[in-house]
Amino acid sequence: MIKYVIKRLLLFIPILLGISFVALIFIDMSPGDPARIIAGIEKQEWEVEKIREDLGLNDPLLIRYVKFIYGAVRGDFGTTYYTKRPVGPDMMQRFPYTLLIATASILLAVLIGIPLGIYAATHQYTWKDNTAILLSLIFVSVPAFWFALLLVQVFSVKLGWLPVSGIQSWTGWVLPTLSLALGYAAGLARQARSNMLEVIRQDFITTARAKGQSEVVIKYRHALKNACIPLILVVGGMYGSALGGALIAEVIFSVPGLGQYMLAGLTGRDYPVIQASVLFMSVIFCLVILLIDIAFAFIDPRIRSQYVRGRKRLKGDA
């Protein structure tokens, strides 16, 4: 297992380098000049050129990339073009808001989606199953930004129960979390239902029925345990997506998270902010996937046995 983790961590290096380089290419290809944006329309061309030279924008693309990576390895992500503040501390200050929204939305999605999917599978082809499928299809199909605006219209404008924006109290977190959670819950419900239906058709379930065990024990002790194992990977992928998807909730509900920070960098073509944010989110996503893989290996005895056999084989060869 330790060797597997080390290999995965080493594999992350070329992945992160590739992601950061592609991000820089797309930034460089996009229209707009940061120097002109900073200088304004009234400045003369020689003044804009001086700003461009001070920011290092006249350097070749590869040189700028090497400088960024060299600074990132040392923990220096540069300074923003506009406020001249270090990018690293700004990201660390904003990331907890994004992390909280993503974590809360995934936890709520798990609490809603998995029980709903299991309930639909155990009542297959009934009106309960059809209702659960219909609701999951609706929430999966609805765009997140439209659903967020709908929640604002209903619970903030019409009913006045929750604030339109801001996080001054716990009520400010309800709508951002709910706007992300229901979409993920719908996806989890469909996956849980599919897994449960697949498990209850297997031979060990038939054997359990032949032994005279009750349907409650069969479904919730034998079938449920095996049906939920593949959902770990699904939840892990959703959590990584939620970290990026929080951008929509942060913008609509005015949450000062990393997503809104990235959007401000994109709007102003603030290269250090964009590059550092993309690299940072890529690192977090890779670590989340690694942790999910490790947890999956510990929970699933079949995968854990592969590592045990691998160690025994290595000892036998020695």
Burial of 72 from C-beta contacts in 10 A (0-12 / 13-18 / 19+):
buried
Other CB atoms within a 10 A radius of the CB of residue 211 amount to: 8
Label residues 226-250 b or e (16+ Cβ within 10 Å = b): bbbbbbeebbbebbbbbbbbbbbbb
Q: Region 69-77: what's the mean pLDDT?
A: 83
Q: Which amino acid is at 157?
A: V
Mind listing the pLDDT tens digit for each residue in 301-310? 666 565 555 5
Q: Please tell me whether residue 272 adopts helix, strand or coil conformation.
A: helix
Q: Please tell me whether residue 108 adopts helix, strand or coil conformation.
A: helix
**Residue 316: is its pLDDT beyond 60?**
no
Mind listing the pLDDT tens digit for each residue in 206-251? 787 787 777 777 777 777 777 777 787 788 778 877 887 777 788 8
Instruction: Give the span between the Cα atoms of 78 and 76, in whole angstroms.
Output: 6
Q: Please tell me whether residue 230 adopts helix, strand or coil conformation.
A: coil
Q: Is the pTM of this model over 0.95?
A: no
Mind listing the pLDDT tens digit for each residue in 148-196? 888 888 888 888 888 877 777 778 788 888 888 888 888 888 888 888 8
